[in-house]
Amino acid sequence: MADLIHDFIFAAARRSPSAQALVDGSRRLDYAALAGAVELAAGAFLAAGVRRRERVAVYLDKRIENVAAMFGASLAGAVFVPVNPQLKAAQVAHILADCNVRVLVTSAERLAQMEAALADCPDLRSVFVTGAASAPAPSSGFAVHGWEAAQTPPAPDALAQRRAIDADMAAILYTSGSTGKPKGVVLSHRNMVAGAQSVASYLDLRADDRVLSVLPLSFDYGLSQLTCAFLAGATAVLMNYLFPKDILQAVVGERITGLAAVPPLWQQLAALDWPADCSLRYLTNSGGAMPRTTVEALRRALPRAELFLMYGLTEAFRSTYLPPSELDRRPDSMGRAIPNAEVMVVRPDGTPCAPDEPGELVHRGALVSLGYWNDPARTAERFRPAPGQPPGLPLTEMAVWSGDTVRMDRDGYLYFIGRSDDMIKVSGYRVSPTEVEEGAYATGLVAEAVAFGVPHPALGQAIVLLALPREPGLDGAALQRQCQRQLPSWMVPAHVVLAHAPFPRNPNGKLDRKSLREPYLTLFDQPA
């Protein structure tokens, strides 16, 4: 039985040591070799003095070292923090400082780009650099080690002393909130194990499946491709793609049976010329609603593949899925609760809504995370007592109150209506307006900035930035280019508007975002 997330790899290694586990280009590991790589990574962390529950950040693109470092940190009793490789130095430094990261695993190139920003990370003690023949000189108060040179088997009794249980922290995933900096969602081993078991069960994952990993491993949906594959003893194929056609070629070349993507990527993939004998067995979507036209195009292009439409929260990993058999009857539904989860639709007072009455989606069960790292105020807003608990229950069960408005029909199927906050959802990424605004201010070119999301046919939402220049003569395209230097690609505004007067405010002195957004709601409407 697997209680801890790294147990999946070692259980598969005992069952089928020679079965292929991980593919990274021409590099291929069977489960015995992957288990060995994880043990060596754990040994490196223990030798560096990593203590139980300390945080180990991994800032790499998808590669074997990334996977070994994450699961090796878990084996060593530490907590892994996958960092999106597209983030810039300032965002990475915020994450490392926010959760007091002690160890960073990255590449020499990435370390050089962000070394100055690491001065703001006082808890950082060691950096492991992949691809380095020897360890670079120590810098900035932390030790620097070559990853390959540091690999060492753990002492025989070292891992036994780090014994963990499923209630312990396993990972922290950073996700944007509607205001302020990204917040770290703390996941226990129980959360991650239960999530993988639930998803693998309804996808019917098997040992002969080959899962293509195209999404970032810092994204709960992307990390799920690994955990589900390792649970089933299947093969995970890592991919850092440039163009959608690269994904098609990988599917064909690697005989991929399972593919996960977000709506904008699916729209591009649906337009490709897929072979009639394609190996894909199932497709999954999350990160936003899939347009009907895309669903229909995918089903025409890949008639033998089952399509699962899903909805999830990083705070609870995954919440609902629509069985492929219901696609024709309920094409607009986000489905029903996944196995081992309960999803409720409630009024503000917590009472259940009537069928088809709009209310807030609340998720309870083993997948509910441990809250936001070092942020009791925002945790209290989102994690609240589960509705309908018996009055005599001595300990309160906490649930995730999603902030999403949905309705549930008489058959228990849910339909998304909207969000209650200002969060922007771009290509499956949650983007805080404040983060975009801070990126604009960091250019030094604007005196005031307001960001918001508007509907977009391909992205779900696109970011519009309204900016009041500090000096006359500023060009909107120039500001957009400067934002590209400050922000990851999905946070860069798609449309920049320069204002000539301060923005209107409501009676409380806050920006009137609703009135500012109104004129741009149809900006990206497609012509009839």
Q: Specify the number of domains making up the chain.
A: 3
Q: Is the pLDDT of residue 137 over 70?
A: no
Residues 43 and 182 in one domain: yes
Residue 525: predicted pLDDT? 84
CATH number, domain of 361, equals 2.30.38.10
Q: Is the pLDDT of residue 322 over 80?
A: yes
Give the amino acid at 170: A
Residues 342 and 468 in one domain: no
* Domain presence at residue 210: no
* Domain presence at residue 306: no
Q: Is the pLDDT of residue 344 over 70?
A: yes
* Domain presence at residue 400: yes
* Domain presence at residue 313: no
* Domain presence at residue 149: yes
Residues in CB range of 231: below 8 A, 6 or more apart: 2, 8, 196, 197, 200, 205
Residue 104: predicted pLDDT? 97
CB 498 within 8 A of CB 449: no
Residue 94 has a CB neighbour count (10 Å cut-off) of 18
CATH number, domain of 77, equals 3.40.50.980
Residue scoring higher pLDDT (332 or 251): 251
pLDDT in tens, 495-521: 999 998 888 865 545 567 778 889 999
pLDDT in tens, 107-125: 999 999 998 899 989 999 9
Residues 119 and 62 in one domain: yes
pTM for this entry: 0.85
Q: How confident is the model at residue 139 (pLDDT cuts 50, 70, 90)?
A: low
Residues 79 and 161 in one domain: yes
Which of 73-77, 138-142, 289-293 is modeled with the greatest confidence? 73-77
Q: Is the pLDDT of residue 442 over 60?
A: yes
CATH number, domain of 447, equals 3.30.300.30
> What is the three-class DSSP state of 380?
helix
Of 174, 68, 210, 49, nearest to 123 by C-alpha is 49
3-state DSSP of 320-362: EEECHHHCCCCCCCCEEECCCEEEEEECCCCCECCCCCCEEEE
Q: How far apart are CA 169 and CA 187, in angstroms?
A: 6
Residues 405 and 454 in one domain: no
In 412-469, which ranges are continuous DSSP H helix?
Answer: 433-442
Q: How confident is the model at residue 135 (pLDDT cuts 50, 70, 90)?
A: very low
Find the Cα–Cα–Cα–Cα dihedral 506, 509, 510, 516, rounded to 10°. Answer: 40
Residues 367 and 510 in one domain: no
Helices (H) and strands (E) in the chain, counts: 16, 26
Percent of the chain beyond pLDDT 70?
Answer: 95
If you average pLDDT over every residue of the chain, what do you get? Answer: 91
- Listed residues 421, 438, 456: the one ending a domain: 421
Give me the domain span that covers residue 345. Answer: 331-421
Residues 35 and 101 in one domain: yes
Residues 338 and 435 in one domain: no
Residue 420: predicted pLDDT? 66
* Domain presence at residue 371: yes
Beta strands in 203-335 (DSSP E): 210-213, 235-238, 258-261, 282-285, 306-311, 320-322
- Listed residues 379, 402, 421: the one ending a domain: 421
Residue 157: predicted pLDDT? 85
Residues 353 and 447 in one domain: no
Residue 421: predicted pLDDT? 67
pLDDT, average across residues 453-460: 90
Residues 405 and 432 in one domain: no
Residue 508: predicted pLDDT? 47
